[in-house]
Amino acid sequence: ARTGPFAAVDLGASSGRVLLGRPVDGRLVLREAHRFDNRPVRVHGTLHWDALGLYRGVLDGLRAAAALTRGEGGPASVGIDTWGVDFGLLDGDGALLGNPVHYRDTRTEGMADEVEKVLPARELYRLTGLQQLPINTLYQVAAARHTEGFAAARQMLLMPDLLSYWLTGVAGTETTIASTTQFLDPRTRRWSPRAAAAVGLDTGLFPPLRDAGDPAGALLPEVLAETGLDGPVPVTAVGAHDTASAVVGVPAEGDRFAYISTGTWSLAGVELPSPVLTEESRLANFANELGVDGTVRYLRNIMGLWLLQECLREWRADEVPGTEDLTGLLEAAARAPGLRSVVDAGSPAFLAPGGMPERIADACRSTGQPVPRDPAETTRCVLDSLALAHRQVIAQAERLSGREVETVHIVGGGARNALLCRLTADACGRPVVAGPVEATACGNLLVQARSAGAVRGGLGELRALVRTSLPPLRYPPGGEGTTAWERAAARLAP
């Protein structure tokens, strides 16, 4: 057996990275091999992912991993996770038919109404348990189904499965990423023929389902040659949905916890043994995404740091003073008056790119609140709004699932944002435990390590390993108490 570290390929909406890691003397030791930007491209009005550019980033990462592990015989295996819902279409020769379309593209506008005529949302929820979001693969298929590309497609591969296919030549669909499509039944963890039929999709377009921990092929000779790795290098299916791997990497003890995976999105919720498919749950727009080891990720999407990323993009393009440096901006936001104005950070109105500072200002105006006067106040408004949304989602998750929450874990890039962590602790009235920043890569690596026999146990044991290796930071709840947050929430009530 190979003895080198495991390689986690983790692609988020804003950046990709390749991390190396393995357990040594009861600790997970991590090294970063490579990091690259993920920049979407608009062509003739359609927003795309730069799929080949991302694949090049993965190859560069594997080349860096090869160089770092030369003395150890190279990585023991490779696991791939990416953001959810998006896919590439392949023709009969296995060639990519056009660049995958970005979930923020406007093609899905009006699709929920189209689908509603064939399969009412109420029924669709009972079949798939997914929250109603325009980004869902089902609505993307509804928008694309009459295009020539779709007619020519012989296979449909979700993003991590597409990258895995390019690396190995083996096609498979991992269950956690499949659960973001709105075509999967969370009770059986198999395709729902009725959901697929609603948009005329043949689920035979997807390759066979596989679970996190299953073997997923080996790097092709051309990949070995290109990256300087010595074969064979196995690829292992991991929680291929980044959020599923992030939840594995949450350093929680016991089951009385909520998680918030904060990066471009904030995904807030609880881990459950089985789905909640009640009408009340649907109306609260909760998703039952599938997790590793037969779990359910009962969560809701919140717009997340996307709101800040988009403001920064605009401010920096306009060379607005005080916005070059994120740390300085966050310090100024910490000094700005708190809870002056809040927006609904759960609203899909903020989904599309562009004009974010102005859209936030408009949202404040239309709810009769003061408009932020500068970037520091806008940033404070965004972070207050995220903390408020975290509070609301966790309270609802608790109520709808019956799962008690004592601790709130924040993982992902947002765990670096001390102000966001503190505000979330204040808003939730519970301690926030922050970190690891790279929880997704940790979850990815640990599932590989377990498959290779380098660690044993269930999610509890994997989480204990994360806890001892990367001790998280604690933020006790404080501030004015939760009534201030209730009053802020009331300003957004219809």
Active site (catalytic) residues: 242
Q: Considering beta carbons, is residue 181 or 341 the nearer one to ligand LRH?
A: 181
Q: Considering beta carbons, is residue 13 or 492 the nearer one to ligand ADP?
A: 13
**Residue 421 parent element (H or E):** helix 418-428
Q: Considering beta carbons, is residue 18 or 333 the nearer one to ligand LRH?
A: 18
Among 84, 88, 249, 291, binds ligand LRH (CB under 6 A): 84
Interaction between residue 179 and ligand ADP (CB under 6 A): no
Chain CA centroid to CA 160, Å:
12
In 3D space, the residue among 417, 459, 405, 409 whose CA is nearest the CA of residue 434 turns out to be 409
Q: Tell me how far CA of residue 158 lies from CA of 62, 177, 209, 247, 417, in angstroms.
A: 21, 7, 12, 20, 31
Q: Output the smallest distance, CB 262 to ligand ADP, in A.
A: 7
Specify the stretch interacting with ligand ADP by CB under 6 A; choose among 25-33, 134-142, 267-275, 408-416. Answer: 408-416
Determine whether 366 is exposed, middle or buried from the number of CB atoms within 10 Å of its CB (0-12, 13-18, 19+): exposed
Among 7, 8, 9, 13, binds ligand ADP (CB under 6 A): 13
413-432 positions binding ligand ADP, by CB under 6 A: 413-414, 416-417
Among 77, 203, 236, 264, binds ligand ADP (CB under 6 A): 264
- Choose the contact partner of 267 out of ligand ADP, ligand LRH, none; CB within 5 to 8 A by kind: ligand LRH
Among 58, 65, 219, 305, binds ligand ADP (CB under 6 A): 305
Interaction between residue 165 and ligand LRH (CB under 6 A): no
Q: Is residue 64 a contact partner of residue 20, using CB atoms and an 8 Å limit?
A: no
Q: Tell me how far CA of residue 140 lies from CA of 133, 179, 420, in angstroms.
A: 11, 15, 32
Residues 6+ apart with CB under 8 A from 292: 176, 212, 213, 238, 239, 244, 245, 247, 248, 443, 447, 459
Among 88, 129, 213, 263, binds ligand ADP (CB under 6 A): 263
Among 201, 237, 267, 292, binds ligand LRH (CB under 6 A): 267
Interaction between residue 469 and ligand ADP (CB under 6 A): no
Return the SS3 of 122.
helix
Specify the stretch interacting with ligand LRH by CB under 6 A; choose among 52-60, 63-71, 237-245, 455-463. Answer: 237-245
- Choose the contact partner of 350 out of ligand LRH, ligand ADP, none; CB within 5 to 8 A by kind: none
Interaction between residue 29 and ligand ADP (CB under 6 A): no
Interaction between residue 360 and ligand LRH (CB under 6 A): no
Q: Is residue 121 a contact partner of residue 130, using CB atoms and an 8 Å limit?
A: no
Cα dihedral 117, 118, 119, 120, rounded to 10, equals 20
Q: Which two tokens stand for residue 232?
A: 């064979």
* CA separation for the pair 6, 443 (Å, rounded): 12
Among 203, 243, 245, 417, binds ligand LRH (CB under 6 A): 243
Q: Output the smallest distance, CB 335 to ligand ADP, in A.
A: 16
- 237 CB-side CA count, 13 A: 24
Q: Output the smallest distance, CB 411 to ligand ADP, in A.
A: 8
Interaction between residue 309 and ligand ADP (CB under 6 A): yes
**Residue 226 parent element (H or E):** helix 221-227
CA torsion sign for 222, 227, 228, 232 is negative
Interaction between residue 410 and ligand ADP (CB under 6 A): no
Q: Tell me how far CA of residue 8 lies from CA of 160, 238, 329, 442, 482, in angstroms.
A: 12, 9, 32, 8, 39
* CA separation for the pair 419, 232 (Å, rounded): 46
- Choose the contact partner of 6 out of ligand LRH, ligand ADP, none; CB within 5 to 8 A by kind: none
Q: Considering beta carbons, is residue 126 or 416 the nearer one to ligand ADP?
A: 416
Alpha helices, H only, 70-132: 111-118, 121-128
- Choose the contact partner of 413 out of ligand ADP, ligand LRH, none; CB within 5 to 8 A by kind: ligand ADP
Q: Output the smallest distance, CB 393 to ligand ADP, in A.
A: 18
Interaction between residue 359 and ligand ADP (CB under 6 A): no
* CA separation for the pair 74, 251 (Å, rounded): 28
Return the SS3 of 405.
coil
Interaction between residue 103 and ligand LRH (CB under 6 A): yes
Interaction between residue 82 and ligand ADP (CB under 6 A): no
Measured CA angle at 418 (ends 464, 240), to 5 deg: 50
- Choose the contact partner of 308 out of ligand ADP, ligand LRH, none; CB within 5 to 8 A by kind: ligand ADP
List interacting residues with ligand ADP (CB under 6 A): 12-15, 263-264, 305, 308-309, 326, 412-414, 416-417
List interacting residues with ligand LRH (CB under 6 A): 12-13, 83-85, 103, 135, 241-243, 264-265, 267, 301
